């Protein structure tokens, strides 16, 4: 692979992997990683890169055995593997891409809690979670507090005004419909918070009552479906800001967001859906007509046989899902036929992504 300096003194290559890239000397200089430049315990820079010579140039470079050895005009030098250079140039991440799914699994992503101390197995669970936005774990325990212990395998708990964890059990004068025996259609939790909780874990202590089955829907898959099949509805849903609101005697929480939120590249970012809590702000009636039709379509897709996955969470099982992508719900249950008790908590995306990067880097 041939590198050469172009007329500006930038390092370029005619190799296919480096096509269109020309490398500024400072970009590579501030990536030098030996002990002179980085603390070898925490990999943090030992100098201020803003104070490097802005006119720095490449002095020498040589390619040997898939490594680039390089020297700069400020007498610094270093070595880069071509692979690491390609990863840096393309901003490659080891986090797997999302894979949209429908209700047509041959096998569900169910993992055995007793094997999670095996790093490879744990890493597989985390990769699967990134792809699908959910995993199910069995053989945990039926003890209270299991959800906290499980969550802390990934990172810190996101405490809310419901506490460090919440008990999903039917109770009188509940401050959320989750704490009744009513059926709850597919929704994302807490869209009224800033930011929304990233990941939810729900652990089943007991599910003896008739009813109370669980459902999950991939908001990403539904968004992709609408983009192709109902582009006008997709447009309305990705551009109309909606108010979400939670009210109880202690606090009023409010936040705005789109039912399907896109990033600055117009790629899917997240879903929000909670028919119990949403209020579209004032808009022209003709725009609202379009919005209400699109929301209705979205609702029916979320509850459709094509997209909604249904299963039963039995005692000792838990499910972990990306609350910004995968919607969850449950069927109504009859409190007179048996006890139903789930415990839930939230963690941040940092926890699962960070753990996966750590595991993949060490394996």
Residues in contact with Fe ion by the rule CB under 5 A: 189
Q: In terms of CB distance, is 46 or 182 closer to Fe ion?
A: 182
Separation of CA 166 from chain center? 21
Query: Can you tell me the distance from the alpha carbon of 68 to that of 48, in angstroms, rounded to the nearest whole number?
Result: 24
132 has which bridge partners?
A: none
Q: In terms of CB distance, is 189 or 353 closer to Fe ion?
A: 189
Residue 248 CB, shortest distance to Fe ion, in Å, is: 16
Burial profile 196-217: b = 16 or more Cβ within 10 angstroms, e = fewer: bbbbbbbbbbebebebbebbbb
Q: How far is CA 236 from CA 39, 241, 267, 324, in A?
A: 50, 10, 15, 19
Q: In terms of CB distance, is 227 or 328 closer to Fe ion?
A: 328
Q: In terms of CB distance, is 25 or 344 closer to Fe ion?
A: 344
| DSSP assignment string, 345-359 | EEE-HHHHHHHHHHH
Residue 15 CB, shortest distance to Fe ion, in Å, is: 51
Q: In terms of CB distance, is 224 or 332 closer to Fe ion?
A: 332
CB 72 within 8 A of CB 29: yes
Q: Which residue is nearest to Fe ion (CB)?
A: 189
Residue 271 CB, shortest distance to Fe ion, in Å, is: 13
Residue 199 CB, shortest distance to Fe ion, in Å, is: 13
Q: Is the dihedral of CA 217, 219, 221, 225 positive or negative?
A: positive
- Alpha helices (runs of H) in 145-252, residue ranges in sequence order: 146-151, 219-229, 231-239
- Phi first, then psi, for residue 64 (nearest 5°) are -140, 120
Q: In terms of CB distance, is 188 or 238 closer to Fe ion?
A: 188
Q: DSSP character for 259?
A: S
CB 308 within 8 A of CB 215: yes
Query: Can you tell me the distance from the alpha carbon of 72 to that of 156, in angstroms, rounded to the nearest whole number?
Result: 43
Q: In terms of CB distance, is 189 or 218 closer to Fe ion?
A: 189
Residue 326 CB, shortest distance to Fe ion, in Å, is: 11
Residue 167 CB, shortest distance to Fe ion, in Å, is: 13
Nearest to 133 by CA among 291, 326, 340, 302: 326
CB 138 within 8 A of CB 316: yes
Identify the burial level of 159 via C-beta atoms within 10 angstroms of its C-beta, where 0-12 means exposed, 13-18 middle and 19 or more buried: exposed
Residue 264 CB, shortest distance to Fe ion, in Å, is: 29
Residue 179 CB, shortest distance to Fe ion, in Å, is: 10
Q: In terms of CB distance, is 189 or 322 closer to Fe ion?
A: 189
Q: In terms of CB distance, is 227 or 330 closer to Fe ion?
A: 330
Residue 333 CB, shortest distance to Fe ion, in Å, is: 15
């Amino acid at each position: 692979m041939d590198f050469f300096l172009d007329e500006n003194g930038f390092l370029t290559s005619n190799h296919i992997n480096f096509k269109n890239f020309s490398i500024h000397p400072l970009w590579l200089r501030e990536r030098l990683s030996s002990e002179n430049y980085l603390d070898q315990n925490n990999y943090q820079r030992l100098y201020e890169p803003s104070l490097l010579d802005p006119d720095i140039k490449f002095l020498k470079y040589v390619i040997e055995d898939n490594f680039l050895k390089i020297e700069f005009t400020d007498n610094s030098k270093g070595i880069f593997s071509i692979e690491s250079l390609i990863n840096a140039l393309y901003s490659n991440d080891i986090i797997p891409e999302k894979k949209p799914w429908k209700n047509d699994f041959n096998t569900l992503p169910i993992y055995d809690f007793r094997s999670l101390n095996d790093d490879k197995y744990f890493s597989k669970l985390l990769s699967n979670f990134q792809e699908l936005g959910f995993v199910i774990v069995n053989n945990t325990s039926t003890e209270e507090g299991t959800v906290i212990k499980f969550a802390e395998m990934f990172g810190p708990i996101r405490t809310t005004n419901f506490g460090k964890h919440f008990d999903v059990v039917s109770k009188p004068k509940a401050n959320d419909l989750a704490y009744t025996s009513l059926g709850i259609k597919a929704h994302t939790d807490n869209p009224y918070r800033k930011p929304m909780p990233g990941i939810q874990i729900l652990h089943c202590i007991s599910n003896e009552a008739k009813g109370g089955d669980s459902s999950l829907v991939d908001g990403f898959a539904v968004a992709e479906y609408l983009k192709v099949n109902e582009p006008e509805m997709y447009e309305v849903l990705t551009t109309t800001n909606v108010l979400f609101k939670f009210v109880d005697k202690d606090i009023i929480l409010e936040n705005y967001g789109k039912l399907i939120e896109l990033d600055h590249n117009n790629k899917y970012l997240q879903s929000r859906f909670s028919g119990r809590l949403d209020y579209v702000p004032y808009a022209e009636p003709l725009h609202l007509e379009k919005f209400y039709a699109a929301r209705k379509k979205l609702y029916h897709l979320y509850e459709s046989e094509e997209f909604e996955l249904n299963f039963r969470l039995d005692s000792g099982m838990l499910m972990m899902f990306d609350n910004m992508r995968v919607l969850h719900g449950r069927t109504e249950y009859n409190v007179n036929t048996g006890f139903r008790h789930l415990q839930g908590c939230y963690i941040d995306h940092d926890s699962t992504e960070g753990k996966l990067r750590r595991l993949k880097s060490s394996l």
